[in-house]
Chain A
Amino acid sequence: MDTLMLSRIQFGANISFHILFPTITIALGWVLLFFKLRFNATGNVRWMDAYRFWVKVFALSFAMGVVSGITMSFQFGTNWPGFMETVGNIAGPLLAYEVMTAFFLEAVFLGIMLFGFSRVPGWLHTLATFLVAFGTTMSAFWILVLNSWMHTPQGFEMREGVAHATSWFEIIFNPSMPYRLSHMLLASGLTVAFLIAGLSAFRWLLGDRSKSVHVTMKTGVYMGALLIPLQIFMGDMHGLNTLEHQPQKVAAMEGNLDTQSHVPLLLFALPDEEARENRMEVAIPNMASIILKHKAEGMVPGLNDFVTEEGEVMHPPVAPVFWSFRIMVGTGFAMLFLSWGAAILMLRKRRGPAGVPKLMMLAMVPMAFSGWVATLAGWYTTEIGRQPWLVQGVLTTEMAVADVPAPFVGTTLGAYLTIYVLLLSAYIGVLFFLARKAVDGDVPRPRTPLSGHAVTREIPAE
């Protein structure tokens, strides 16, 4: 393989590994703040037990996110020097603001949030929790501004082949930013909802009937049930936005070859880019036109419009985009059924988790990672869907790649992949290990019943 392909795989692998962890910490920070505020308001220890269990997951995920993120900041230079050379004037300030307004905030207050409970006043610990959550969200904001700008660039002019900013307002509030940011924040919320529900179900199945499992189970399921309809709606809005600004991506998502009306929705197909046809299509007539244009006569863009007269393909590779999109949507619907089913059963007769049948509890355990699957599939759809462009209409991926010998890239890729596989197994293993340990009563409890705000300072060290 050549340097370009290897570099793309390497960056893809790094960013895929990286995004797993921010996806958890962005929303988990706010859930922890919720636990802490409930505890402050009620003085009920179950909330603090929930906090202590999930803050461990947060700490672990945060560390994984930090180290994989550092990797990426270097790879811009080691593998993609053309990116910063061409659009550095735009990307630079956005990345700088991410470091300055988010990274330091998170990293510094994380120490106090994790280890400061008995060292600082209760309000400062709550404030630290808030600032960490705020920091992770700010980080998401800036990086999604930059990512969105790469899809829908505006507010700049090209001078001697280099982009110069003309309006920062237009750059920050570029057309796809509001949709992409909302879509990602909701994805983070759903990932955390199902992770919390899944690990709580795991603890429940092992016989844990503690109050803290009750509250986390409810938090996870209700949060999932609340967010998934919003996400489906937001996903649709984002799709329409993409249709307007990156029609070639939507054409690949739909596997639609020619621009036409009455386009069917393909449930299954094997897109063959060389032959320019789909094999083994299973389709619902007119449905793609109806979804995208809200009427059967609606014109849907086709891939063949994005092949130049010289035969140069300027649309993304079809099969990966087509299939990633279906995996994302399928996972989304699985989330809808499971969270609504569980929520309804839990609300009925107010039985809480006891109202959920065992089979459903079992299904929730693997669904703990459904958010990861959907998030990755969604990112593959949008990022592969941007190819062959790195910055839509401005810079192709091929032009940005570094002139590093392929064996170098190949070797480091092998090393990164090995480490990522090992770390991911260790991470998942430790999550379940922590859950099992919590079942055995690892979560420290106060020796004497306490109530009210005074609790914060008085929970004794075991």
Chain B
Amino acid sequence: MELFGDPAVWLPFTFAALMGVSILIYVVLDGFDLGVGVLFPFATDEEKDMMVASIGPFWDANETWLVLAIGLLLVAFPTAHGTILTALYLPVAIMLIGLILRGVAFEFRVKAPTPHKATWNWLFFIGSLMTSLSQGFMLGKYVMGLESTLGTRAFAMITAVFLTVAYSMIGACWLIIKTEGILQGKAVDWAKGGIWGLVLGLGAVSLATPLVSARIFDKWFTYPEILLLAPLPVLSAVMVMMLWRSLQKLPNATDAGSKGPFAYAITLFILAFSGLAYSFYPYVVPEKLTIYEAASAPESLMIILAGAIVVIPMIGGYTALAYWVFKGKASELRYD
């Protein structure tokens, strides 16, 4: 494998990239189904059934990307995994409890006796909310270099709210694709109402990141980087405008452009994520530990990579199959 140069260099980079892509896919995919849960209080009981039907066949696989992402952190950068997760001990616990509640509520709400359904619907909402908030909180803490002061916690509280609103926004965009009629109309309003969260969230993280670290500041605001990177914020602004315009044209009789908002929202998530990845590289624990210092032994990474090259395209293939089988407007979920 000398072909690619020193494996102690390209292997950690490859794994950081794989992990980054997994986190991004997770944030987009579970983002929309968490968002659907967060929107529960605004829907009627029949609409709640339809909302769950739109994510029912997918949520399990969506969450698996979190397991892969955290698994890659665990296996490729074990020391970083320990440092990051012990620093985020409480938000992680809250997220896990949230994930447990919403995951089982999917099943219990339709299998438990009918009088209990309202409780499980409520737990589905609470679980989705806890998960979104704690993920936003962790994002904030990470941006703040995992430091624990009053200021960093306040910032993390703010990102918690923004990320939750952003999730509900992308969730609403998903519902626009998967639903029709009154619910679709509502989803358009929810999406419009959620754009501010996305914009403020992007703004807060983009402004805070370079201010916290002089290293990151220099990475962005020196010549020629500032020119090369200009497309990121510019494209983001364009995407927000496109998103807003596409929402203005919905709902309509032919359902034209109903996939637009979701596509623009995903692009925004990707742009935001690329910015963050650029800022933090090469650090996996901000300002403390680089991916090269934290990486596992090359022989262990090689054997994982060999498997990943074979398996990940297959995962992509059958994930696409599942989305294709359940394409089009959602219908009531049934076992027959």
Residues of A within 8 A of B (CB): 52, 55-56, 59-60, 62-64, 66-71, 73-74, 76-78, 81-82, 84-85, 88-93, 95-97, 99-101, 103-112, 114-120, 162, 164-165, 168, 402-404, 408, 412, 415-416, 419, 423, 426, 429-430, 433-434, 444, 459, 461-462
B6 to chain A, nearest CB (A): 18
Q: Does B96 contact A (CB under 8 A)?
A: yes
List 6 A-B pairs, minimum CB-CB distance, nearest first.
Answer: A81-B82, A92-B75, A111-B57, A77-B85, A88-B78, A67-B103
When the two chains form their complex, are residues A423 and B104 in contact, meaning their CB atoms are under 8 A apart?
A: yes
Say whether A92 contacts B86, CB under 8 Å. no
The reply to whether A88 and B74 contact each other, CB–CB distance below 8 Å, is yes
Return chain A residues, CB-CB under 8 Å to B335: 52, 55-56, 114-115, 117
Known: A78-B89, A88-B74, A89-B300. 12 other contacts (CB 8 A): A69-B67, A70-B96, A73-B67, A92-B300, A95-B75, A103-B68, A104-B318, A105-B318, A107-B61, A112-B57, A404-B89, A433-B112
B70 pairs with A84, CB closer than 8 A: no
B107 on the A face (CB < 8 A): yes
Bound CA–CA A63/B108 (angstroms): 10
Which residues of A lie under 8 Å from residue B232 when comparing CB positions? Answer: none
Q: Is the CB of B299 within 8 A of A408?
A: no
Contacts of B334 in A (CB 8 A): 115, 118, 461
How does the 8 Å CB contact mask read for B54-92 relative to A, with 1 for contact and 0 for none?
001110110110111011111110110111111011101
Residues of B within 8 A of A70 (CB): 63, 66-67, 96, 99
Given contacts A77-B84, A78-B93, A412-B90, contact A67 B100 (CB under 8 A): yes
Closest to B119 in A: A426
Complexed CA–CA distance, A416 and B98 (Å): 11
A426 touches B108 (CB 8 A): yes
18 pairs, CB–CB < 8 Å, chain A vs chain B: A66-B63, A69-B67, A71-B96, A71-B99, A74-B70, A84-B75, A88-B300, A89-B296, A93-B307, A104-B311, A104-B318, A105-B318, A111-B61, A115-B333, A162-B297, A403-B86, A415-B93, A419-B100
* B312, CB-defined interface residue at 8 Å: yes
- Known contacts A73-B67, A461-B336; is-contact A63 B107 (Cβ 8 Å): yes
Contacting pair B74 A92 (CB below 8 A): yes
Given known A84-B81, A118-B336, contact A92–B296 (CB-CB < 8 A): yes
Q: What residues of A have a CB within 8 angstroms of the CB of B307 in the complex?
A: 93, 96-97, 100-101
State how many angstroms separate the Cβ of A160 from the closest Cβ of chain B. Answer: 11
* Interface status of B113 (Cβ within 8 A of chain A): yes
Closest to A104 in B: B315
What residues on A are CB-neighbors of B85 within 8 Å?
74, 77-78, 81
- Chain A residue nearest to B332 (CB atoms) is A461
Residue B196 at the chain A interface, CB threshold 8 Å:
no
B contact residues around A412 at 8 Å (CB): 89-90, 93
Interface pair B75/A430, CB less than 8 Å apart:
no
Q: Would you call B308 an interface residue if the criterion is a C-beta within 8 Å of the partner chain's C-beta atoms?
A: yes
* A77-B111 in contact (CB<8A): no
B106 contacts across to A, CB distance below 8 A: 63
B residues near A118, Cβ cutoff 8 Å = 334, 336
B interface residue count range (under 10 / 10 to 19 / 20 to 34 / 35 or more): 35 or more
Determine if A93 and B300 form an interchain contact, defined as CB atoms under 8 angstroms apart.
yes
Q: Which residues of chain B come closer than 8 Å to A74, judged between CB atoms?
A: 70, 85, 92, 96
Q: How many pairs, one residue from A and one from B, have CB atoms within 8 Å of each other in the complex?
A: 224
Give every chain A residue within 8 A of B319 (Cβ-Cβ): 104, 108
B322 contacts A by Cβ under 8 Å: yes
CB contacts (< 8 Å) of B76 on chain A: these are 92
Smallest distance from the beta carbon of A417 to chain B beta carbons, Å?
11
Q: Is the Cβ of A60 less than 8 Å from the Cβ of B70?
A: no
Chain A residues, Cβ within 8 Å of B57: 111-112, 114-116
B residues less than 8 Å from A71 (CB atoms) = 96, 99-100
Question: In the complex the two chains form, is B104's CB within 8 Å of A108's CB?
Answer: no
Q: How far apart are B32's CB and chain A's nearest CB, in angstroms?
A: 15
Contact of A67 among B70, B104, B296 (CB under 8 A): B104
Closest to A416 in B: B97
- CB contacts (< 8 Å) of A114 on chain B: these are 57, 333, 335
Nearest CB of A to B289, in Å: 12
CB distance from A270 to the nearest CB of B (A): 37
Complex Cα distance A97/B104, Å? 26
* Contact of A119 with B81 in the complex, beta carbons under 8 Å: no
Measured CB to CB, the closest approach of chain B to A149, in angstroms, equals 13
Q: Given contacts A70-B66, A95-B74, A415-B93, are A426 and B112 in contact (CB under 8 A)?
A: yes
A438 to chain B, nearest CB (A): 12
Query: Which residues of the other chain, A, contact B96 by a CB distance below 8 angstroms?
Result: 70-71, 74
Contact B58 A111 (CB under 8 A): yes
* Contact A88–B296 (Cβ < 8 Å): yes
Contact A76 B74 (CB under 8 A): yes
Question: CB-nearest residue of chain B relative to A163?
Answer: B297
B336 in complex: contacting residue of A52, A84, A402, CB < 8 Å: A52
Flag if B74 contacts A107 (CB, 8 Å): no
Of B67, B89, B315, B336, chain A has the most CB atoms within 10 Å of the CB of B336
- Chain A positions within 8 Å of B336 at CB level: 52, 117-118, 444, 459, 461-462
Tell whether A111 pairs with B82 under 8 Å between CB atoms, given A74-B70, A92-B300, A461-B334: no
Q: CA separation between A97 and B92, bound complex, in Å?
A: 24
- Which residues of chain A come closer than 8 Å to B75, judged between CB atoms? 84, 88, 91-93, 95-96
Query: Given the complex, which residues of B lie within 8 Å of A164, measured CB to CB?
Result: 297, 299-300
* A430 neighbours in B (Cβ, 8 Å): 108, 111-112
Residues of A within 8 A of B79 (CB): 81, 85
Report yes or no: B86 in contact with A60, Cβ–Cβ below 8 A.
no
Q: Which residues of A contact B74 (CB under 8 A)?
A: 73, 76-77, 84, 88, 92, 95
Tell me whether B322 and A108 are in contact (CB under 8 A).
yes
Contacts of B101 in A (CB 8 A): 419
Contact A433 to B297, CB < 8 A, known contacts A81-B81, A81-B86: no
Closest chain B residue to A80, Cβ basis: B82
How many angstroms from the CA of A164 to the CA of B303 in the assembled complex?
Answer: 13
Q: Could you give, for residues 298-336 of chain B, a 1 whenever the CB lies within 8 Å of some chain A CB and a 0 otherwise?
A: 011001100110011001001101100110000001111
Q: Which B-chain residue is minimally distant from A53 (CB atoms)? A: B335
Docked CA distance A402–B93 (Å): 15
Chain B residues with Cβ below 8 Å from A82 are 82
